[in-house]
Amino acid sequence: MKRIAFAALALSCLNGLAFAQTQATPPVGPDFSKVEVKTTDLGHGTYMLEGAGGNVTVAVGQDGIIMVDGQFAPMHDKLKAAIAAISPLPVKYLINTHHHGDHTGGNAAFAKDGVIIVGHDNERKRLAAGTTHNLSGITTPPAPDIALPTKTYSATMTLEVGGRSATLAHPANAHTDGDTYVYFADANVLSTGDTFGYPRYPNSDFLNGGSIKGMIAANDHYLTMINDQTKVVPGHGPLSGKAQIAEFRDMLVTARDRMQKLIAEGKTEQQVYELKPFADYDAKWAVNDQAARNFMRVVYVSLKM
């Protein structure tokens, strides 16, 4: 467990703070003792929790709670307290949107509480096998059995708790090959995991089945299924809506098209870095120069594979 906790902690800046910034040495994670959970009421018994790691969505039914993502392992007690302040009912399901540790670190602790962990078939396989991060090279060892999803699906699934329903679906080869988005129709709330984040460049984890094309397809789909009133809980970043998804999708399409042209011209990865084809987007979408470089690599490699 210590090795898993260390790997998750090392990825806090990679996935949570800057969508996987490459570092020569693992970055120092947040001081979890100082992290406070922010709760936003989305209406109809549905809430967004922000802490350390990916955003969390909570849907309260008449006899239980559905939770989307569990952040890092050290956030377990704080998330439980934040949920208890919303409702005294138990969490029945914890849905993983993908395998990265800033979203699944809490699996084992919540499973010990009796929560059923839910995820895509491929997400379970990635957790069980262990993974290497596509940008940092950091390896995460196989998760213990208790941290693995015990309820999985391949295409779609519906979960219910006392009058509440969550629709789970799998966007293929987007952020990873095991992504899940969750839609709460009664609240008109969409939780995207890291297939959408705003306003920052995403990481299409090409070592674990992700691709820029899959990211575009996922966001194209979101735009067909939501409306202007939909509240979108991104994998990271503030509460968003349809306009933000449209802007994110357009940025991805432009990045794909520009990079495809450079690849067709025979440009190497180093030449792409020197050309800075996304410089006009960097001020808004890159948290720093390394984030801009990482995104160029993600787009280049995923289009070359």
Q: How far apart are CA 193 and CA 135, in angstroms?
A: 19
Domain spans, the chain: 2-241
Using alpha carbons, select from 84, 78, 93, 87 the residue that is nearest to residue 45: 87
Q: What's the confidence (pLDDT) of residue 30?
A: 85
Q: How far apart are CA 261 and CA 202, in angstroms?
A: 21
CB 133 within 8 A of CB 185: no
Q: What's the confidence (pLDDT) of residue 258?
A: 98
CB 58 within 8 A of CB 85: no
Q: State yes or no: cis peptide before 74, omega within 30 of 0.
A: no
> Kind of pairing, strands 116-120 and 151-153?
parallel
pTM of the model: 0.90
Strands (E), 51-150: 56-60, 65-68, 91-95, 116-120, 131-132, 139-140
CA-to-CA separations, 155 to 8, 91, 167, 178, in angstroms, rounded: 28, 24, 11, 10
Architecture per CATH, domain 2-241, reads as: 4-Layer Sandwich (3.60)
The tens place of each residue's pLDDT in the chain, 305 residues long, gives 333 333 333 333 333 333 333 333 344 578 999 999 999 999 999 999 999 999 999 999 999 999 999 999 999 999 999 999 999 999 999 999 999 999 999 999 999 999 999 999 999 999 999 999 999 999 999 999 999 999 999 999 999 999 999 999 999 999 999 999 999 999 999 999 999 999 999 999 999 999 999 999 999 999 999 999 999 999 999 999 999 999 999 999 999 999 999 999 999 999 999 999 999 999 999 999 999 999 999 999 999 99
Q: What's the confidence (pLDDT) of residue 222?
A: 98
